[in-house]
Chains A and B, each alone.
Chain A
Amino acid sequence: MTQARGNVFLAGVGGQGALLASEVLGEAFLLGGYDVKKSEVHGMAQRGGAVTTHLRYGPKVFSPLIEPGSADLLIAFEKMEALRFAHFLSPAGAAVVNAQEIMPPSVATGRERYPERIEERLAGVTPNLYMIDALAAALSLREVRAVNMVMVGAASRLLPLPETIYLEALRGRLPERIVEVNAKAFRAGRALLVPRGA
């Protein structure tokens, strides 16, 4: 992706750090010389509910919201959340999806089942699907909270900025003591994804 404007939709579950991931990405695009707008909802959403962030960059951005059917990239921190927001993808859009499953309350209490064949259903929405195991990558760094930066690292392979800008954004947004482990997670994520046709 080398276009001058783009829409990145992030979806996750409260507590996974999706908001911080979007902070680092937003900062990176600002450092990269783009106009940036980013929208999210706090409050109720933090209590284990679905969390989404709309991130838009370009020479000049008006709306802070991405319209359904127009996201260039979907970064999903949880498998079912990927499917829930897949309709935001444009026909040529790509999805980077963490294979992790987190049960919603109705599934955890046995009233509903976790949906099946998610990967297959996602592949039906986008030909550019990248499933990765960000939880495993984070656990191998002994830091479960680094799932978000693994995701940013993987997604960065599909975005137009050079690697150094993300690391600069990361240093600007995180407290000193956790910069190193997050930079490692970012690089681990970058190693997990090889763009097809690149």
Chain B
Amino acid sequence: MGLEVQGGLLMADLLDIIIVGIYLCALLGIGIIASKKIKNCDDFICAGKSLGFWLFTVLMIGTVCSGMSLLGVSGFGYLSGWPGIWEQIFVPLAISFCVIFFGVKLQHVGRSAGYMTVQDYFAHRFQSPRTLRGLSSVAGIIVSLIYLAGQYTAISIVLMWLFEIPHWMALLIAAVIVTAYTTLGGLYAVAWTSLFQGLLLLIGVLIMAPLVIMSAGGITHVNEVLAGIDPNLVQPAFPASYAAYAFCTPEFLFSFAILLMIGLSCAPHVINNVLAVKECRYFKWVPLVSFLVYGLVMFLIKFSGFAGRAMVADGLLSLPDVANAQDFVFVYAVQYATQSVYLWGIFAVIILAAVMSTTDRLMLTVGSMFGWDIYRNVLKPKAKDSDVLKISRITTVVAAVITLLFAINPPDILAFLIWMGIGVMLSTFAVPLLAGLYWRGATREGAIASMAAGLVASGVFGYYYQFVAKLPMHFSIYAVTCSFVAMVAVSLLTARNDATVLDETMTGWYIQPK
């Protein structure tokens, strides 16, 4: 650990180990209790479609609130100042967007048609039980695995920082715990642990963030320091891209809004949650409640990033001399603000809670996409339910092992792929989903072309943006445009799907039918 509190260090280390140990045991305990409820695939993948209002709301927040929500959000605040505040509006809006524009219809149709994953919807709506289901599952699994590797990296940063243990050991501890409870308890365990971890996160941030802001001299002083560094750091957007940190120009923020709001909402690990809700009446207040709760947490974390920048400028804090040092600002600012080593264990638990709640959902999504969509619906349609459950569990473990190997020995391209993650989700899934739900003219061929075009274009534009030249907007906006053009052009040239199927899947220009 970074601070020189020699006397209490040994005791603090022991206390930190106990705190984190209790937390990890609690997760495991929840997994064991949840495992008693798993009787079939529906229980494992959709928690028996029994999630209540708060379980669903917190599951959505926990799924969206990834490892980078604490480290990356404050780091982004440190780097970009107020022009980056829009991230804290767009990300919580992803949940509202998902519930309103996808959830209402999908949950209703899914309940009568027996959907387990969003791929069931694709197969039904586009009358493509194998091709589109297979393509979207493979794309979903690849993107989820990449995203998962990023989550494991964030977990290892926290455990390495707290316990000064080797990278591989930190990863292994986290992976064993999260894999155990996810494999045992499926979505029941993921939802229950999310509730537990969401409460920890909320309470922790409500205590830690104000402490950090007060230690930096209060919000007014923080803003004055930011304005002294660069007057544009307190503006709502940068007027032009005049420096590496000044990329949040108005046009970039527009693409950022689309990326975060729609890209996150159509990610398989997020959208699948709407199929597990017990009653559709919960969709009434979830958009507002999740926006307010998650928005409050995110704003406080962003303000902590601003405060960290002011503390560094005032000479109160210095960041480590490593790449992306800004991502450590929340950790270092809390260390400075609390001074007490005894609080660090609790703080580590808060960060782990944010990371774990996304990691478990991603692993379950990979397991269910392979077990249910590929094994049960493409490879072996007559497979028994118990076999599908077994395969889903095995795939969840395999997903953990693969990503762990990537995270322990990260190839050079991994950082690039993680950075691409949400952009690929937007480019691949947004157009087929939105067109499928709201445009009766969208055809199977259009959906396949749109998905393939989005996937390829995101690779091309992502590479160009990162390695050739910066574009005025986020690369995904160009890729999603290609996906949109492919959907419209190919759909207009091919025959429409059956009207019966379009009626069954509630396809049309409405959210709720009159």
- Tell me if chain B binds chain A: no
